[in-house]
Structure 1
Amino acid sequence: MFDKQYRFKGRHALRVDQLTSAFDGESKAQLFGRNIDIYTNASLIGFLYGRTAELDNTKNPETNQVYNQNVMGDRVIYSQEELMFNFRLIMLLDKLYEADEDKRIDKAFRHIGENPEDEERFDNYVRGGVDVLYEKLIEGAIEPDDYINNLYEFVEEFQDRFNSDISEEVILQLCIKDNWENS
């Protein structure tokens, strides 16, 4: 698993292209530098936002070929550890996909790559994450400042949505509690 080229297709390929394209001709600034950066992050974004997307086969009207954006195999292999961590995390946490906790643990650690539906679930989250990133970062942006504002708003929303309940005091209490119980 995660040992070969990955291919974004259809509308997701177009969206990956826009997410990695320079949005400022002068500075050549980009939101993402490489397709692999999107691939490694999109699954978590899709999962956290509860977004999945089916494979899309939108075609280029000029060539009648399905749009493609590749993540080269060497990049996937280089990022294999991070991708595997993301896969395991999603398999462990996705109670909607598998309600039974023991089966989720098996999917994450014992039976990796044995069930094509697990890989498809992960890929659905990748595509859903691409959709979220596109909607939050690209849609409505025209000028370079629009892209920067969208990025800032997305980071702020992410912080509020997923990290607002976590404080340093809570983390310290958990650390002290764990250390106290293990002594």
Structure 2
Amino acid sequence: MFNKQYRFRGRHALRVDQLTSVFDEVSKAKLFDRNVDIYTNAPLIGFLYGRTAELDNTKNPETDQVYSQNVMGDRVIYSSDELMFNFRLIMLLDAEYESDVHKRIDKAFRTMGTDSADEERFDSYVRGGIDVLYEKLIEGATNPDEYVVKLYDFVEEFQERFNSEITSDDILVLCAK
């Protein structure tokens, strides 16, 4: 697992392309530099937002080929520790997918990557995360200022949704243990 090329397909490939494209020609600004950056972040976004998505096979009408974007194998291998951490975290926390905590622990640490259903669940969060990132950061933006505002709004929403109850004192208490 996480030792070979990864392929985004269909509408998700198109969305990855847009998420990694330059949105400001003057500064050459991008939201994500590389496809692997999306691959490592999207499953967490998908999980946190409760979004999964089915595999999509949208085709390019000119070539009749399914749209495709790749993460080269060396980039996946280089990021395999982070990807494995994300996989384990999702398997441990996804009580909707597996209600038995002992089975979730097994999926995360003992049988990881041996069950194709677990890999598909992780990939569905990747695709769902891509959908969230696209909707929050790209959809409707037409100029650099709008992209920046959408990014700021997303970061603010994320902060309010997931970090608003965490204080500096809470972090200090955890660090002192």
Q: Same-fold call, TM > 0.5? A: yes
Q: What's the CA shift string for 1:13-49, capped at 9, x where partnerless?
A: 0000000000011211100000000000000000000
Structure 2 CA distance for aligned equivalents of residues 162 and 80 of structure 1: 25
Q: Which runs of 4+ in 1 moved over 6 A?
A: none
Looking at structure 2, the residues matched to 50 and 84 of structure 1 have their Cα atoms a distance apart, in angstroms, of: 20
Deviations 1:87-138 (A, max 9, x none): 0000000000000000000000000111100000000000000000000000
Other structure's SS at 2:70 match? strand
The amino acid of 2:14's aligned partner reads L
**Corresponding residue for 1:124?**
124
The structure that has the greater radius of gyration is: 1
Structure 2 partner of 1:89:
89
Give the Cα separation in 2 of the matches to 1:170 and 1:74: 39
Q: Higher strand fraction: Structure 1 or Structure 2?
A: 2
Alignment TM-score, normalising by the size of structure 1: 0.95
CA drift of 1:171 comes to: 2.9
Q: Does 1:145 align with 2:150?
A: no
**Corresponding residue of 2:100:** 100
Structure 1 residues 150-161: aligned runs within 5 Å: 150-161=150-161
- What corresponds to 1:162 in structure 2? 162
Length-normalised TM-score, structure 2: 0.98
- Aligned pair 1:23/2:3, yes or no? no
Deviation at 1:175, TM superposition (A): 4.8
Gaps of 5+ in 2: none
Secondary structure, counterpart of 2:3 in structure 1: coil
Q: Which runs of 5+ in 1 are unaligned?
A: none
> What is the number of equivalent residue pairs in this alignment?
177
Find the counterpart in structure 1 of residue 35 from structure 2.
Answer: 35
Indicate whether 1:51 and 2:51 are aligned: yes
Which secondary structure state, in structure 1, belongs to the residue aligned with residue 154 of structure 2?
helix
* CA distance in 1: counterparts of 2:146 and 2:58, whole angstroms: 27
Q: Which residue of 2 aligns with 1:75?
A: 75
> What is the one-letter code of the residue matched to 2:82?
E
Q: Hey, what's the Cα distance between the residues in 2 that align with 1:14 and 1:175?
A: 42
Q: Give the Cα–Cα distance (whole angstroms) in 1 for the partners of residues 41 and 4 of structure 2.
A: 18
Secondary structure of the structure 1 residue equivalent to 2:59: coil
**Distance in 2, Cα, partners of 1:136 & 1:89:** 24
- The Cα shift of 1:170 comes to 2.3
Q: Which amino acid aligns with 1:146?
A: E
The residue aligned with 2:14 is 14
